[in-house]
Amino acid sequence: MEGAGKFQGIMPPAITVFDSEGRIDAGKTKRFLQHLIDSGVHGLFVAGSTGEYSLMTMEQRREIIDVGVEAAKGKVPLFAGTGHNSTRIATELSRYAEVAGADGVVVSLPHYPRPTQEALYQHYRVISEAVDIPLYVYSWPGQYVVDIEPETVARLAADGYIQGIKDSTQDLDHTAKIVKLTGGQIVVLEGFETKIFAALCLGADGAICTMGNILPAELVAIYDLFREGKIVEAREKQLSVFGLAEVLSTREDMQLLKEGLKMLDLDVGDALMPTSEVSPELKGRLRAELVKLGKLR
């Protein structure tokens, strides 16, 4: 797919609300998505890691795309996670998202069996040739033990096969190299909430960060202040979220995040198994950080 418009801003990878039987609660999920929209986010991303896509059935993956499209329609861009280890299945999901009305797809790197860089290039080429909406790469080497080299990203961009990337690497040099090699051809989005300010300074276009679920207005403020040239204020806003980010980083499942959202009186249910209860000590640390940020008394 070629010629996509350039997306910029903060696009939370939204949580999915499940009932006690692990079924998607469409009504509660839509209400949560509306909460994010009301908080000023620039777009939404459903069926990402934070949305627990890897624990969903294929039917649920299609369902959450429909839920997201309906919630976001006419309000903000809606991107759908359609990644899968199988190129065939990722392509099918991407086609489904396009027909459903998604504004773009975010496709996580296939990771098992571990692909070569050429295999990654061909994976995204095949998907891109099957859809006519923007295709974003989603790279998170810390989780999937696979990375896509900046040179491969640049090759895909030059050939018109991708329109963006969510770069969830701890190494800002990696993100900077993608920005440099692609030269503005694609959207570059930061994947970690503690690096939004730095990534913007390096030329990134925005961020897709888990914390956007619990502090949407604050992350939007980092972006907006930076774009307004209020650099000191943007930096201070960035530094203010480090404490909460440190607490949330202690768990990679979504139960801790959902506990925090429940502290804010948001009806989001629990994470899908496999997960475990959050300890009272960790809940206390989470609450303390929300108090510091003025979200709780």
Helix (H, G, I), strand (E, B) or coil at 62: helix
Contact 130, 91 (CB under 8 A): yes
Q: Is 242 exposed, middle or buried (0-12, 13-18, 19+ CB in 10 A)?
A: exposed
Longest Cα pair distance anywhere in the chain, in angstroms? 53
**Within 13 Å and on the Cβ side, how many CA atoms surround 261?**
26
**Rounded to the nearest 5 degrees, what angle is found at the Cα of 163, between the Cα atoms of 195 and 108?**
65
Catalytic site residue from 53, 166, 237, 258 = 166
**Rounded to the nearest 5 degrees, what angle is found at the Cα of 229, between the Cα atoms of 225 and 233?**
45
Which of 2, 14, 7, 10 lies closest to 133 in space, CA to CA? 2
Phi first, then psi: give them for residue 55, nearest 5 degrees.
-105, 0
How far apart are the C-alpha atoms of 14 and 44, rounded to whole Å?
A: 7
Q: Is 39 exposed, middle or buried (0-12, 13-18, 19+ CB in 10 A)?
A: middle
Catalytic site residue from 53, 96, 124, 138 = 138
Whether 166 is catalytic is yes
Can you give the length of the chain in residues? 297
Known catalytic residues are 138, 166
